[in-house]
């Protein structure tokens, strides 16, 4: 379970979150969508414990992110928008470091590499991998600890269509096992019908809930008419939403 209430966050004079509240439940994929600058990535960073809110509260699996930060972080696994690994480390070296950090058995690493199709690339240096393969390594790292909560920020941007579909299947499998999954994305068309819930983030708040099986039509009310036309075009073509 993920719960957030009245989250507020500013960077200098720029107010990014303005009282955002949301809930993501076990056994479900919850999507967070919205234009650039809506506050999606900031929300994900706050929920991952990588930044502190200026106001409001949030909890992960029942653990308050301020009062019980370590317990909350132990219950989650987070994939940032642009996972960055040292180019001289091997795939196994990256996963092995976090394996030891989490106190996990080596079998977990082998399983994670298998899930993302990188079993034969364990000894390859990260610097030799394509962008899509580095993203798959990030997904392997996300799956490594088998936590009850998964947070993903734009996980499909560097993946080809086949691996985006495979990622969807993996997340549906993880949700079926009872995990709570919250994912932020711009790729509305490609995630249509995948999630159980979809929340529209707009100007630092959750504006409303969208129909996850009919996102292309249900998103049509945002902004002025020229924005609606632009969004509709981008939706049809699976492009990123933009402000």
Residues 59 and 118 reside in one and the same domain: no
Specify the pLDDT at position 230: 40
Q: Which domain range does residue 140 map to?
A: 83-146
Say which CATH number the domain at 185 has: 3.40.50.300
Q: How many domains does the chain have?
A: 2
User: Strand order in 2-11's β-sheet?
Assistant: 14-24, 2-11, 55-60, 63-64
Residues 174 and 200 reside in one and the same domain: yes
Specify the pLDDT at position 219: 65
Pick the closest to residue 134 from 82, 187, 191 (CA basis).
82
Residues 89 and 191 reside in one and the same domain: no
Residues 93 and 212 reside in one and the same domain: no
Residues 127 and 208 reside in one and the same domain: no
Residues 128 and 109 reside in one and the same domain: yes
Residues 238 and 175 reside in one and the same domain: yes
Residues 172 and 236 reside in one and the same domain: yes
Query: End of a domain among 146, 170, 189?
Result: 146
Query: End of a domain among 93, 113, 146?
Result: 146
Residues 105 and 168 reside in one and the same domain: no
Query: End of a domain among 108, 123, 146?
Result: 146
Phi, psi of 193 (to 5 degrees): 80, 5
Residues 25 and 96 reside in one and the same domain: no
Residues 40 and 128 reside in one and the same domain: no
Give the 3-state secondary structure of the chain: CEEEEEEEEEECCEEEEEEEEEEECCCEEEEEECCCCCCHHHHHHHHCCCCCCCEEEEEECCEECCCCHHHHHHCEEEECCCCCCCCCCEHHHHHHHHHHHHCCCHHHHHHHHHHCCCHHHCCCEHHHCCHHHHHHHHHHHHHCCCCCEEEEECCCCCCCHHHHHHHHHHHHHHHHCCCEEEEECCCCHHHCCCCCEEEEEECCEEEEEECCCCHHHHCCCCCCHHHHHHHHHHHHCCCCCCC
pTM of the predicted structure, to 2 decimals: 0.86
Specify the pLDDT at position 214: 83
* pLDDT in single tens digits along all 243 residues of the chain: 999 999 999 999 999 999 999 999 999 999 999 888 899 999 999 999 999 999 999 999 999 999 999 999 999 999 998 888 999 999 999 999 999 999 999 999 999 999 999 999 999 999 999 999 999 999 999 999 999 999 999 998 888 989 999 999 999 999 999 999 999 987 787 888 899 999 999 999 999 999 888 887 766 655 433 344 344 334 443 444 443
Residues 168 and 184 reside in one and the same domain: yes
């Amino acid at each position: 379970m993920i719960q957030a209430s009245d989250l507020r966050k500013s960077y200098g004079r720029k107010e990014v979150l303005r009282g955002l509240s949301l809930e993501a439940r076990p056994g479900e994929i919850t999507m967070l969508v919205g234009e650039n600058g809506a506050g999606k990535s900031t929300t994900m960073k706050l929920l991952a414990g990588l930044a502190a809110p200026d106001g409001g509260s949030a909890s992960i699996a029942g653990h308050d992110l301020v009062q019980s930060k370590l317990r909350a972080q132990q219950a989650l696994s987070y994939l940032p928008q642009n996972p960055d690994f040292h180019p001289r480390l091997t795939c196994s070296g990256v996963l092995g470091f976090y394996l030891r950090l989490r106190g996990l058995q080596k079998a977990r690493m082998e399983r994670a590499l298998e899930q993302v199709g990188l079993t034969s690339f364990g000894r390859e240096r990260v610097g030799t991998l394509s962008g899509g393969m580095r993203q798959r390594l990030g997904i392997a790292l996300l799956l490594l600890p088998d936590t009850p909560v998964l947070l993903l920020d734009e996980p499909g941007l560097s993946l080809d269509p086949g691996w985006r579909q495979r990622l969807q299947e993996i997340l549906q499998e993880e949700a079926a096992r009872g995990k709570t999954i919250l994912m932020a994305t711009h790729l509305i068309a490609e995630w249509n019908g995948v999630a159980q819930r979809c929340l529209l983030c707009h100007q630092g708040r959750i504006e409303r809930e969208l129909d996850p099986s009919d996102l292309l039509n249900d998103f049509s009310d945002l902004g002025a008419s020229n924005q609606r036309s632009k969004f509709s075009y981008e939706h049809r073509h699976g492009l990123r939403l933009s402000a």
